[in-house]
Chain A
Amino acid sequence: MSWSDEWRRIRAIVWKDLTTERRSKSGLNAVAFMGILVLLLFGFALGPDTSALRAAAAGAMWLAILFSGVLAFNRSYQLELDGGALESLLLYPGSRKAIYLGKLIANLVFVLIVEAIVIPAALVLYQVALPPGWPAMVGVTVLGTVGFVTLGTFYSAMSSRSRAREVLLPLLLFPMLIPVLLAAVESSSALLAGDPMSEAGAWVRLLSAFDIIFLVASVMAFEYVIEV
Chain B
Amino acid sequence: MWLGVGAFALLAAMQAWAISISVPDRDMGHLQKIMYVHVPAAWSMMIAYFIVAIASLRYLWKGKESDDLLAAAAAEAGALMTGLLLVLGMIWAKPTWGIWWTWDARLTSSAVLFFIYVGYLVLRAFVDDPDRRAQWSATVGLLGALNVPIVYMSVRWWRTLHQPQSNPGTLDPNYTLGLRVNAIALVIILIWFIRHRYETAKMERVADQLHEQLVLSGRGGINA
Contact = CB atoms under 8 A, between A and B. Distances in A.
Instruction: Give the size range of B's interface with the partner.
Output: 20 to 34
Interface string B128-166: 110110011011101110110011011001000000000
A158 B154 contact: no
B154 to A, nearest CB: 4
Contact of A228 (B60, B112, B118, B129): B129
Contacts of A209: 150
B24 interface: no
A175 B119 contact: yes
A162 interface: yes
A138 to B, nearest CB: 22
A171 B157 CA distance: 26
Interface string A142-173: 00000000010011001000111001100110
A166 B51 CA distance: 30
Contact of B146 (A162, A202, A214): A214
A218 B139 CA distance: 9
Query: What are the nearest 3 A-B pairs in CB distance?
Result: A175-B115, A221-B139, A228-B132
Interface of A: 151, 154-155, 158, 162-164, 167-168, 171-172, 174-176, 178-179, 182-183, 186, 199, 202-203, 206, 209-210, 213-214, 217-218, 221, 224-225, 227-228
Interface of B: 60, 108, 112, 115-116, 118-120, 122-123, 126-129, 131-132, 135-136, 138-140, 142-144, 146-147, 150-151, 153-154, 157
Contacts of A186: 157
Contact of B135 (A154, A175, A210, A224): A224
Nearest to B144: A176
B110 to A, nearest CB: 12
A168 B133 CA distance: 13
10 contacts: A171-B118, A175-B116, A176-B116, A176-B143, A179-B151, A214-B146, A224-B60, A225-B135, A227-B135, A228-B131
A174 B60 CA distance: 24
Given A164-B126, A176-B144, A176-B147, A225 B136 contact: yes
